[in-house]
Structures are given as C-alpha cells and as structure tokens.
Amino acid sequence: MTGHRDVATVGLGGPVGSGKTALVQHLVPRLDDAGYDVGVIANDIMTQEDADRLRESFSDRLPPDLVAGVETGACPHTGIREDPSMNLAKIDEFTERHPELDVVLIESGGDNLAATFNPELADYFMFVISVAEGDDIPRKRGPGVTQADLLVVNKTDLAPHVDADLDVIREDAATVRGEDPTAFTDCKADEGIDAVADAIERSVLFA
C-alpha cells in the first residue's frame, strides 16, 4: 500500500498575504507540464468559497480529488510542525486513490515568521514572504526565513511602491541564510517562477 512516505512533499509556509496561494497556482502548471502528477493541500482555507475557488483554479489540470483543504483547528503552525498527522492522513488518501502521484504541494495557513515544516511532513520547505511586509523581514532572522530550504521573496513588483529595497533584502537574506538559496518572484507577471519550479525538481523529484 502506498502512503505519505512514497511521495515527494513540498511545504509552502509564510505570513498571511505573502502570496503562497498565487505561487502554488503558478507552480502547478509548470510541474504538470513537466510530466509530474501533482496534488495540492491547502490548510485553513476557512470558507467553502475558498475551497471551491481553489478546486476551480486547478480544474483543467488536476483531478478534483487531488485538491483538498485540511482544517487545522485554528493552529496553522501545529498542523505543519508539532502534529502534522491530519496532513499526512490526507496525503495517504491521495496516494491510495492515485498511486502514481509524484509530488504534493502543502500550503500552510498564513502564520508568523516562526513557522517551519516538520521534516516528516515536507521533504522540501519553502518560506514565502512579500516585499510589502517590509524589507527588514530577513533581518529579523525568524526560523521560517533561516531554516527554509528556499526563501521566496514575492511581489517584487511592489517594491518601489512600498519603499522596499530589493538589494537590502538580497544582502540580508544572504547574511542570515548562508549558502541556502533565495528566489525573487512576481507572480502577477509570472516572473521568477521557473527558478522555484527548478529548485523543486532538482531537490525532491530528481533526488
């Protein structure tokens, strides 16, 4: 019987409004086009409207039963770190119905800078921040920023409008993350997404 240990898993965490959902929406077509069978789990989508919208957004790409919400009892960080059992149970459901599944993207509910993924849940963990939250986010050294396999700095198009200096973000990220990579994306213009998809492919699908 296949289960959560037989499929690659990618966790996306980050603060509310940083663009995690938009990033998932741009990653799925790329992974799908590259020939991978993809499932998507979103935590704390809150309302039925959110659930319907999520399923609708992948309707031409993924079977509806591979797009699911998992409620985390108003504890988004618990769902991805201390007790990921309900997310793992959902991945087991996915793999039972679709044993051919290659990768599951798990989008955390919006949380704070301390949110990190349990390594038994996510083989690869990316932390998504937005330039609009301030260019001092990397400097705060939150565990999400420092421990993620990939830091994604999203909404780069907004930088001039919110007085955020991308060079400062780049330098601070390099300082606090050492050798670990940082990607810059603008989901609205579909820029920088290829680098993120490549990182997933290289790190968890070819590995």
Q: Whose Cβ is closer to other proteins: residue 72's or residue 182's?
A: 72
Task: Tell me the torsion sign for CA atoms 172, 132, 201, 66.
Answer: positive
Q: Whose Cβ is closer to other proteins: residue 44's or residue 133's?
A: 44
Q: Distance between CA 165 and CA 176 in Å, rounded? A: 17
Phi-psi map region of 23: left, alpha, beta (phi>0 left; psi -120 to 50 alpha): alpha
Q: Whose Cβ is closer to other proteins: residue 75's or residue 158's?
A: 75
Q: Whose Cβ is closer to other proteins: residue 56's or residue 171's?
A: 56
Least CB distance from residue 100 to other proteins, whole Å? 21
Binding site for other proteins (CB under 8 A): 1, 44, 46-49, 70-75, 78-79, 82-86, 89
Q: Whose Cβ is closer to other proteins: residue 41's or residue 70's?
A: 70
Least CB distance from residue 84 to other proteins, whole Å? 8
Q: Whose Cβ is closer to other proteins: residue 69's or residue 144's?
A: 69
Q: Distance between CA 196 and CA 192 in Å, rounded? A: 7
Least CB distance from residue 106 to other proteins, whole Å? 15
Least CB distance from residue 151 to other proteins, whole Å? 27
Which residue in 117, 84, 90, 115 sits closest to 104, CA to CA? 90
Q: Distance between CA 20 and CA 23 in Å, rounded? A: 5
Task: Show Cβ contacts of residue 47 under 8 Å, excluding neighbours closer than 6 positions.
Answer: none
- Cα distances (angstroms) measured from residue 193 to each of 7, 29, 30, 105, 173: 22, 11, 9, 15, 18
Least CB distance from residue 1 to other proteins, whole Å? 8
Alpha carbons within 13 A on the beta-carbon side of 179 = 0
Least CB distance from residue 120 to other proteins, whole Å? 10
Which residue in 85, 126, 86, 107 sits closest to 39, CA to CA? 107
